[in-house]
């Protein structure tokens, strides 16, 4: 059994328990938190600033504890001040140490920034939760969903005005899972079986992603030079967690990376122009 199988098995139990505790009808009656906080947030639009999707992640199955001290409101506000275009908040507790309360706290602290609910979605119920907790986007992971499930869940997400980030790790997952209700396609550089990360995965797959989707490169990113290479290859956005969270001041780490990335962009565009 791979770690992904283990996470999904646990997730199905968890969702069934939460459905018992809070029936669908109650979630469906929740006020539209997103609309209360702000009107039009469009994650795809917002990516055009720094393109950084900054993640709040306390621990992971591959790294163990990354940061158990950071406060979610303070860290996410710091991320936004430092230039994050979008926030990603883990809500999986057993494997990643995240909670629904983390997402709600991030929402309240950052009314104007798009937020991704980072979890393993296997059921429409989790989309209703994401909406009720104030998320703007949800992640769908091709590795643990059939193409039919991806199609169904992405349509349901759109019905709830949630944008969809589809995560893929290889050509086969990409080709079988794309559908018009997907907004962003993320290439996970981390192999979920071996936990090794390689940006070659992103560089290999980028050409295959149609231009109608925003293209995101995910995981294992920590330096501006690599980001520049990925940007030139066609990526619009970068999903980064550990490189920030493992430091004592995650927002400062993001700021440093943004400064470095921007100056490299300027230097390289001057070189191109001269
Ligand atoms: O911390 P990193 O290596 O910068 O990676 C962030 C993000 O891509 C990673 O947390 C992630 C990508 N896909 C996921 C699916 C579930 C949980 C976590 C993830």
Full pLDDT tens readout for the chain, 274 residues? 889 999 999 999 999 999 999 989 888 776 544 443 333 345 665 665 789 999 999 999 999 999 999 999 999 999 999 999 999 999 999 999 999 999 999 999 999 899 999 999 999 999 999 999 999 999 999 999 999 999 999 999 999 999 999 999 999 999 999 999 999 999 999 998 788 999 999 999 999 999 999 999 999 999 999 999 999 999 999 999 999 999 999 999 999 999 999 888 888 776 666 5
ipTM score: 0.99
DSSP string, the chain: --HHHHHHHHHHHHHHHHHHHS-HHHHHTS--HHHHH-S---HHHHTTSS-EEEEE-SEETTTEES-SS--HHHHHHHHHHTT-SEEEEE---TTT---HHHHHHHHHH-TTS-EEEES---SHHHHHHHHHHT-SEEEEEGGGS-HHHHHHHHHHHHHTT-EEEEEESSHHHHHHH--TT--EEEEE-B-TTT--B-THHHHHHGGGS-TTSEEEEESS---HHHHHHHHHHT--EEEE-HHHHTSS-HHHHHHHHHHHHHHHHHHHHHHHH-
Residue 220 Cβ < 6 Å to ligand 1 = yes
- Find the 141 Cα to ligand 1 centroid distance in Å: 11
Mutation test residue for ligand 1: of 10, 58, 60, 75, the one with most atoms within 8 Å of CB: 60
Mutation test residue for ligand 1: of 2, 8, 55, 216, the one with most atoms within 8 Å of CB: 55
Residue 242 Cβ < 6 Å to ligand 1 = yes
Whether the pTM exceeds 0.95: the reply is: no
Boundaries of every domain in the chain:
3-273
Residue 201 Cβ < 6 Å to ligand 1 = no
pLDDT at 49: 74
- Find the 219 Cα to ligand 1 centroid distance in Å: 5
pLDDT at 46: 61
Q: CATH fold of 3-273, please? A: TIM Barrel (3.20.20)
Residue owning the nearest CA to atom 16 of ligand 1? 119
């Amino acid at each position: 059994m791979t770690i992904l199988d283990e996470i999904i098995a646990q997730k199905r139990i968890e969702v069934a328990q939460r459905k018992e505790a809070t029936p669908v009808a109650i979630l469906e009656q929740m006020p539209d938190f997103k609309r209360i906080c702000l009107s039009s947030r469009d994650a795809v639009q917002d990516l055009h600033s720094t393109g950084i999707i900054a993640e709040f992640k306390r621990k992971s199955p591959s790294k163990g504890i990354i940061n158990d001290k950071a406060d979610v409101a303070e860290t996410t506000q710091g991320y936004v001040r430092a230039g994050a275009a979008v926030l990603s908040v883990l809500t999986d507790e057993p494997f990643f140490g995240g909670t629904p309360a983390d997402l709600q706290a991030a929402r309240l602290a950052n009314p104007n920034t798009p937020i991704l609910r980072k979890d393993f979605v296997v059921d429409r119920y989790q989309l209703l939760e994401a909406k009720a907790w104030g998320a703007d986007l949800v992640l769908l992971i091709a590795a643990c969903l059939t193409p039919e499930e991806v199609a169904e869940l992405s349509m349901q997400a759109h019905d709830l005005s949630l944008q969809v980030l589809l995560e893929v790790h290889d050509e086969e997952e990409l080709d079988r899972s794309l559908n018009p209700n997907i907004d962003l396609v993320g290439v996970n550089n981390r192999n979920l079986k071996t936990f090794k990360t390689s940006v070659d995965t992103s560089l290999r797959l980028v050409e295959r992603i149609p231009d109608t989707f925003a293209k995101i490169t995910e995981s294992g990113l920590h330096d501006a030079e690599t980001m520049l290479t990925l940007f030139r290859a066609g990526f619009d956005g970068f999903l980064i967690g550990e490189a920030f969270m493992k430091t004592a001041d995650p927002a400062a780490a993001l700021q440093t990376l943004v400064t470095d990335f921007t100056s490299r962009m300027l230097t390289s565009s001057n070189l191109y122009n001269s």
